[in-house]
Amino acid sequence: MNRKLIAYLDAVEGYVNSIARDIRNNHVNYAVAMYDEDGPFTRLIPLPSPQTAGTETQKRDYSLMKAREIVEDMKKWNPHLNYDTFGNLPNEFEQDPA
Give pLDDT tens digits for 58-82: 999 999 999 999 999 988 888 777 7
pTM, whole model, 2 decimals? 0.81
Q: What are φ and ψ of residue 43, in 5° steps?
A: -105, 130
For the chain, the distance separating the N- and C-terminal CA atoms, rounded to the nearest angstrom, is 39
pLDDT confidence tier of residue 85, bands split at 50, 70 and 90: confident
Domain boundaries, the chain: 3-81
Rounded to whole angstroms, how far apart are CA atoms 17 and 68? Answer: 9
- Residue-wise pLDDT for 14-53, tens only, equals 999 999 999 999 999 999 888 777 888 888 999 999 999 9
pLDDT confidence tier of residue 94, bands split at 50, 70 and 90: very low
- Confidence check: pLDDT of 93 > 70: no
Rounded to whole angstroms, how far apart are CA atoms 56 and 59? Answer: 5
